[in-house]
Amino acid sequence: MTRKIIGLFVVLFLQPLSAQQTTALSYSGGQLSTGSVLFKVDSPNSKRGLSYDEIQGSPYLDKGFFQATFIISDIDNGETAPARYNAYSDNIEFKKGDEVLALLPDNPFTKIRFSDTNQTLIKLNVDDDLKGYFFEIVKGKNSLYKKVKAKFNDFVPAANSYATDRQANFNILNPTFYINTEKGFMKRPNNKREIMEQFPDKKEALNSFFKEIKVRFDKEEDLKRLVIFLNGN
């Protein structure tokens, strides 16, 4: 990792820094390790924190690290590092040598672009519902975003001697889609009527589009085609 990006991150739990150092490293990452609390989930039923290794499933869409560019304010000259997205913590983890670190919430990066997978994560801070990292599916006057979350289901002890314990697990939930228009965000567009109401000036063109294409509003590819159509008409 180059000097620029290293200057933006610092290991958590360091000794207090001077004012000058704190300013220079104000946008910092926190070091993660296998034993770190940041790799654990509170399990009330177990009465302790469970490490990721003790939980079935994964909080990651892909456990692997892929080359990513960290971009500030849409300036495409960001630094690069192997990274991955944690859908449970809604955070970006990256590698610096053999260390695994994570971005702090107040980091300045507005986009994380993965060159290997051709995916881009956008950092939003619109409201409680539109906060965190979203996959950018379509970019343009109208944009399509996808939110993916991992849910933690706690360990459940057996009800009796004939039953068995249910191990704690992560479950990747169905994605939630958002269309960002000039009027604001549409969350989970469900039907043609909602789209028509949002784009009354495109009613005739949309009628033709929906007659030709049967759009399933829970399908990424269908929504992608719809938003691309809106941007071109």
Task: Please write the tens of the pLDDT for every residue from 108-145.
Answer: 889 999 998 999 999 998 887 889 999 999 999 999 99
> In the structure, what pLDDT confidence band is assigned to residue 77 with cuts at 50, 70 and 90?
low
Q: What are 41's strand-pairing partners? A: 50
- Average pLDDT (72-100) is 85
Task: Give me the residue spans of the domains in the chain.
Answer: 3-188
- Average pLDDT (71-95) is 85
Strands (E), 22-157: 29-32, 40-43, 48-51, 66-72, 75-86, 91-96, 99-103, 111-114, 119-125, 131-138, 143-147, 150-153
pLDDT score for 46: 92
More confident: 176 or 78: 176
| pLDDT surpassing 70 at residue 226 | yes
- Average pLDDT (178-182) is 95
Poorest-confidence range of 42-56, 93-107, 162-176? 93-107
Residue 15: what are its φ and ψ, rounded to 5°? -65, 155
Spatial contact of 96 and 1, defined as CB atoms under 8 Å apart:
yes
> In the structure, what pLDDT confidence band is assigned to residue 33 with cuts at 50, 70 and 90?
very low
pTM: 0.81
pLDDT score for 37: 58
Q: Which amino acid is at 50?
A: L
| pLDDT surpassing 90 at residue 27 | no
- Average pLDDT (39-56) is 92
Residue 179's nearest CA partner among 232, 110, 230, 123 is 230
User: Can you read off the two tokens belonging to residue 111?
Assistant: 């986009």
List all residues 6 or more positions away from 146 whose beta carbon is below 8 Å from its beta carbon.
134, 135, 137, 175, 176, 177, 178, 220
More confident: 206 or 77: 206
| pLDDT surpassing 90 at residue 101 | no
CA distance 122 to 112: 7
Q: What are 68's strand-pairing partners? A: 81, 114
pLDDT score for 28: 43
Q: Which amino acid is at 184?
A: G
pLDDT score for 51: 92
pLDDT score for 162: 82
More confident: 201 or 106: 201
> In the structure, what pLDDT confidence band is assigned to residue 215 with cuts at 50, 70 and 90?
very high
| pLDDT surpassing 60 at residue 13 | no
